Structure 1
Amino acid sequence: MAAPTEHEAEAEFHIPLRPDGWTVDEVLALPEDQTSQQRIELVDGALLVSPWPRLEHQRLVGTLWGQLAAAAGKQFEVFPGANVVLGNRGNRLLIPDLVVTDEPGLTGVSLTEQQVRLVVEIVSPSSRLQDRILKRIVYAEALISFYLLVEPGEQNTATLFEIQGEDYVPIAKSKSGELHLTRPFEATLRL
């Protein structure tokens, strides 16, 4: 099979321009063949496009999902990579690595900020600034109660933030590869 020509490659990954910005509905309506190789998020009408995470990242997502789901009990449900619609303007959609809701059994294609208690972001080389700064600001503006930021490395580290006023304040930090949570439920995460 021959490699696609430049024109064919452009057509394969073409996302139409929206001079007035994108909406959540437009992003969610993108054909799967255009979105299957990348993660597409939306902040204030602008698309944030990044490659799907590496296997090491996905392994850590799976490990954390298993530990959170086991500790969450029946009051909570943990989702990997769920769409979260933020704000009432219809122009913010993020896909955290993990989402915890206190409304188990939800259906549909997305959650709203009112349904989310905890978001987890694992920093990737392609998303450092987004995870550490932009997403933290967006989640805080949406008043999501807890934000867990995981920093992969030789020894993975994690910090749990809680919304206080209009910003997040760190309330727990990992030590020796473990993070002990008391909120939104008790859990020990082995990173």
Structure 2
Amino acid sequence: MATTEPTTGHAPERTVLRGKPPFSVDDLLTFPDDGNRYELFDGSLLVSPSPTPMHQRALARLLRLLEDAAPPEFEPLPEVNLGIGPRDFFIPDLVVVPTGAVEETELMFAPDDILLAVELVSPTTRKRDRHMKRSAYAAAGIPIYWRIELAEGPCLHVHELADDEYKPAVKYEAGETARPVAPFEVSFDPAVLLRSRG
């Protein structure tokens, strides 16, 4: 059985996980709700701690922006289950899906449901968001991937799928207006994602 030791200021607690590597999505669905985010990449377990307050602020701001801009047939949702195969399972920070797919999906979305996947890069997820998830989302056929680098202003990197890989990203820095047009038109300065209220 695999174990994890969340890093906190308290004495480490051991979480016992059922199964053994390589893990399957079925294994992952039996894991305890212990405050960690569990994902799978080709059966390898990816464990992330709960998001930081600034990460949550940026996610809430972005969700509001997309909610306000989205036509009725599209729905932005935070932190959904995305099953790509028997040994690949991700929890994007935010997705946009067809509204009808929300009502038809019980546990996890399929890649065909995802019109946009968004990851907010933090120090603990930098490598997987920049490389691993980008390649996994492209291989799954997700048409648009946004990577938001919180430590860079923040800035927005927009990746669009061409064949089976993403084209070089279009980068929007803090202080300029990003105007991505897919899956629907929206415009915002990435700086607003971390700006305090008022």
CA separation of 1:86 and 1:169: change in aligned 2, threshold 3 A? same
Distance 1:70 1:138 in 2: 29
Q: Which position in structure 1 is the counterpart of 2:20?
A: 18
1:30-179, aligned counterparts within 5 Å? Answer: 30-32=31-33, 36-87=34-85, 90-104=86-100, 105-106=102-103, 107-153=105-151, 155-170=153-168, 172-175=170-173, 176-179=175-178
Q: Which position in structure 1 is the counterpart of 2:195?
A: none
CA separation of 1:59 and 1:4: change in aligned 2, threshold 3 A? closer
Distance 1:68 1:190 in 2: 13
* Identity of matched residues, %: 34
Over 2 Å off, 4+ runs: 3-6, 103-107, 170-173
Query: Please, what is the CA RMSD of the aligned residues?
Result: 2.0
TM-score normalised to structure 1 length: 0.86
Structure 1 residues 60-82: Cα deviation after superposition (integer angstroms, max 9, x where no partner): 00000110111111111111010
Q: Match of 1:185, SS?
A: coil
Number of residue-to-residue matches in the alignment:
179
Higher strand fraction (1 or 2): 1
CA separation of 1:94 and 1:55: change in aligned 2, threshold 3 A? same
Distance 2:125 2:141 in 1: 22
Gaps of 5+ in 2: 1-8, 191-198
Residue type of the alignment partner of 2:20: R
TM-score normalised to structure 2 length: 0.83
